[in-house]
Amino acid sequence: MSIKDTVSSSYSKWLDASGPESDIVISSRVRLARNLVDTPFPHLLGHENADKVIYAVQTAIGNEKIKADIGELELSRMTELTPTERQILVEKHLISPDLLEHPEKKAVVLRNDEVVSIMVNEEDHLRIQCLLPGLQLKECWDLANKVDDGLEHILDYAFSEQVGYLTACPTNVGTGLRASVMLHLPAMVMTQQINGVLTTLSKLGLTVRGLYGEGTQASGNLFQVSNQVTLGLTEEEIVDNLIMVTMQLVSQERAARLALYKEQQYQIEDRVWRAFGLLKYARTMTSNDAMGLLSDLRLGVDLGIVPNIPPGLIMELIIMTRPAFLNKLKGKEMNPYQRDIYRAELIRQRLNSF
């Protein structure tokens, strides 16, 4: 699948709810920050040096050994994509919003299954990302390492024997590794446990963000939990620590769901079926309303209240009903009210097929 196909499809592998603990853990992601030696960091790059970095990455991914070990990788300059297509890559979590700034200096590399992506000239020269469904942090880490090792045989990374990999932001110095999980925690939100949990996580050296990472608020009861510190820890320690904490959160959320359903069965069932009814029959739907209702429906599916709805469909609907993707599907720029009408129409169509 080409990058043009990627921005035309609402499906991504990380959405399919096929991984371990996928009733709570939506996805796992590992990112590695790498920079090229003797080259200014991206925020200091002129156009000529930015082009050199892009060319170096383009040459590296064309290496036959990398193709054999990792698969076919396709590079696209950000200027080759429309603004809507760039935003869709953000909405699908394949790139960060930072890659949208100064697109003439930046590029993205994607594997056709969207599991591997590389952001070129974002905050660092390379941000190698692996993204899988459910709790698969070790699998993400293994694949990211394979990509990293392959590129390091060709590209000369900026590295210090004293501190490790050199990065534009000091918080990434060392391993350059950011591991994160996306969690669906509706019961902890409903029972007001979530604030205490977030406080505890910050004391453990973890940070919690919303659906689209830094600077975003939690929406649809979706939270991203990631490591804050990369220096002084090994990659294995970072990954193992996050897995341990994630399993504790999974246990807490499951316990909260069971207790909530036991104590308030009719209220929970009413909330879930009301969400289903609105999603299935509403004629307009704002983005925030859709996120909240889809979260309630997903809870109902996971609790067995609503049968025959694939959990992966609900996550796909979250991506499909984001503003840029709606504009892409419609083939034109719509105003917010037009999007609300089209969003409701799409949700009705998909749910009615089940």
Q: Which of 206, 227, 256 is the last residue of a domain?
A: 256
Q: Would the annotation count 179 as a binding residue?
A: yes
Per-residue pLDDT tens over the stretch 215-233: 445 678 999 999 987 777 8
Say whether 127 counts as a known binding-site residue. Answer: yes
For residues 303 and 216, membership in a common domain is answered with no
34 is in an annotated binding site: no
Q: Are residues 129 and 158 in the same domain?
A: yes
Counted domains in the chain = 2
Same domain (yes/no): 277, 208: no
Does residue 197 sit in the same domain as residue 289?
no
Same domain for 178 and 294, yes or no, is no
Same domain? 183 vs 101: yes
237, 346: one domain: no
The annotation status of 182 as a binding-site residue, yes or no, is: yes
**Category of 176 on φ-ψ map: left (φ > 0), alpha (ψ -120 to 50) or beta:** left
- Consult the annotation and say whether 210 binds a ligand: yes
Where among 190, 221, 256 does a domain terminate? 256
Six-digit token pair at 99?
């890659």
Residue 196 shares a structural domain with residue 323:
no
Instruction: Select from 256, 291, 311 the last residue of a domain.
Output: 256
Same domain, yes or no: 132 and 202 = yes
Q: How far is 336 from 159, CA to CA, in rounded Å? A: 47
Q: 109 phi and psi, to 5 degrees?
A: -115, 130
119 annotated as a binding-site residue: no
94 labelled ligand-binding: no
Helix, strand, coil fractions of the chain, as percent rounded to 5: 50, 15, 30
CATH number at residue 92: 3.30.590.10
Is 134 labeled as ligand-binding?
no
pLDDT cut 90: percent of the chain above it:
77
Residue 188 among known ligand-binding residues = no
Confirm or deny that 209 is annotated as ligand binding. Answer: yes
Same domain for 237 and 276: no
Same domain, 134 and 238: yes
pLDDT digits (tens, 9 = 90+) for 261-270: 999 999 999 9
Residue pLDDT, tens place only, 193-215: 998 988 899 888 899 987 655 54
* Residue 251 is assigned to a ligand binding site: no
How high is the pLDDT of residue 215? 47
**Can you give the pLDDT at residue 77?**
97
Which of the pair, 1 or 82, is modelled with greater confidence?
82
> Is 274 known as a binding-site position?
no
Per-position DSSP letters for 327-348, written without gaps between them: HHHHTS---HHHHHHHHHHHHH
Residue 292 counted as an annotated binding residue? no
**Residues 222 and 133 placed together within one structural domain of the fold:** yes
Q: Which domain holds residue 115?
A: 3-256
Helices 287-302 and 265-281, packing angle to 10 deg = 130
Q: Is 111 annotated as a binding residue?
A: no
Q: Give the pTM.
A: 0.92
